Amino acid sequence: MNQPMDEPAKTDEDSEQEIDFLNGSSLGSKSEPGPPITPRTLDFMEKIEREIEEEVRKKRAQGAFPPAFERRLKRIFEQLVPPGAGNSRRDFEALLRSSDRAAYFDIDVPIASQKPGVARLKKLLRLTQAWYLNYLAQQLNNFSTNLMRLLYVFDARVKKLEDSMDSATRVRPSGEFLKPYYPSIFAMEDHIANTIKDVGGRVLLADCGNGYLVLKLKEQGIDCYGVDSFGDEAEKPYQSGLDLRWQDLNEHLLEIADGALSAVVIQGSIDLITAQEKLNLLSGATRALEPHGTLAVISVDPDFFDRSPDLAVQRDLAPGRPFAPETLRHVLDHLGFSRVSTEAIGSAHLTLGHLGNIDVDESPKRR
């Protein structure tokens, strides 16, 4: 369409910003990449990041950041992310709508200009080339219309597939109706402490509940913190000042740098998720461990899980069931752990593994 004469003509920068907006970016963003990051700049960024992490750790220990507050803050941040910047269904729909708006090609190019005589020249060029541009635009518009129809059909079919998968996997362990099952931590306390007391670095305790085990490990000088996907018990800590976080464990592991942890203790919801999610969780924990790091998995005995009346809700609602000890050892062996062992403790099993060959001073080969 013609641009009104009283409006300023669009500059190349305006056109680039409009394209960026249609692609889901903000109008203030730049299309061209920024300057390269030098090693000195990278070292400075890492220093600032370490200082921020240390300050956040102190604040958590002081109880300034309760798990529910951090979870609400994360949800607010996700809501403020520009549409199309993520991978959710909402982002896909935003990109689909913006693509639909940009799918029509208009040959009626603007002719306004602030220079004398240029507007008349543009109008003449448009009139002389209209037949040619119209021929091309008709073909492009037919193609883009069919392509957008195809994308809408694809979107509808993917939504049906996602909805069917959601119903097939049933209730998530971190949801409102299904709470992770915690084996007796009192029976495991000494075994866990003896296993990781000499690791020397940061220790993650998954599905930490109210933080009882986190406290006991800290009392023995272990730098330990907890993550709980259910969250209710973490909101009522066993003792104030514990570093407890309310977050999905898989998401938390994705945020951890490679080799940042000396040990990971997994329990609770791993027994209730699907087999693929178990493998993803164990792989994520392996990546987060330093060379020769230790992984401890507390799992419910499959026979006890199948027959215990206290676990009827978990059996009916959970997408999966506990791995057998043989299966856990098989998986850890393929992930590069050595000296994998399992010990039966009451109605649960404690499976331990150490990355690589701990008798040889070389980095493990992760498979």
CATH 3.40.50.150 location in the chain: 185-355
Candidates 220, 231, 222; CA nearest to 263 is: 222
Q: Going by C-beta distance under 8 Å and a sequence separation of 6 or more, which residues neighbour residue 191? A: 343, 345, 350
Q: Going by C-beta distance under 8 Å and a sequence separation of 6 or more, which residues neighbour residue 142? A: none
Residue 54 identity (one-letter amino acid): E
Domain 185-355 CATH class label: alpha beta
Q: Going by C-beta distance under 8 Å and a sequence separation of 6 or more, which residues neighbour residue 34? A: none
DSSP three-state, residue 206: strand
DSSP three-state, residue 299: strand
Claim: this prediction has a pTM higher than 0.85: no
Cα 176–chain centre separation: 20
pLDDT tens sequence across 137-165 = 888 888 888 888 888 888 888 877 776 66
DSSP three-state, residue 262: strand
What 115-123 contacts at long range (C-beta under 8 Å, 24+ apart), as own/partner pairs, is 119/5
What pLDDT tens digit does each residue of the chain (367 aa) get?
444 444 444 454 554 444 444 444 444 444 455 566 788 888 888 888 888 877 877 776 666 666 666 667 776 766 666 655 555 666 777 777 877 777 777 777 777 778 888 888 888 887 887 778 788 888 888 888 888 888 888 888 887 777 666 545 566 666 667 777 777 777 777 888 888 877 888 899 988 877 788 888 888 888 888 888 776 666 676 777 778 888 888 888 888 888 889 999 998 888 888 888 899 999 999 999 998 899 999 999 999 999 999 888 888 888 888 999 999 999 999 999 988 999 898 888 999 999 876 444 443 333 3
